[in-house]
């Protein structure tokens, strides 16, 4: 997963718990973790966080 996170742009502020949630979600939907779908989920997470 570290390689995918790197390819998605890093996002050092992403909580690893959230990353585990993304992995579980993708496994449930039988999708693989790619930098593209990881970037999408991280962007949604960052937008939903309180400022």
Of 6 and 35, the one with more pLDDT? 35
In order, the DSSP letters of 1-50 are -HHHHHHTT--TT--HHHHHHHHHHHHHTT----HHHHHHHHHHHHHHS-
* Number of C-beta neighbours around residue 6 at 10 A: 12
Q: Pick the residue with more confidence: 12 or 31?
A: 31
**pLDDT given for residue 2 in this prediction:** 61
- Quote the pTM value: 0.41
What residues does each domain of the chain span?
2-48
- 14-40 confidence digits (pLDDT tens): 667 777 777 788 788 887 777 787 788
Q: Exposed, middle or buried by CB within 10 Å (0-12, 13-18, 19+), for 35? A: middle
């Amino acid at each position: 997963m570290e390689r995918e996170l790197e390819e998605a742009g890093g996002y050092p502020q992403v909580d690893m718990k959230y990353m585990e949630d993304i992995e579980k979600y993708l496994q449930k939907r039988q999708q693989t973790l790619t930098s593209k779908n990881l970037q999408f989920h991280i962007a949604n997470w960052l937008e939903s966080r309180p400022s």
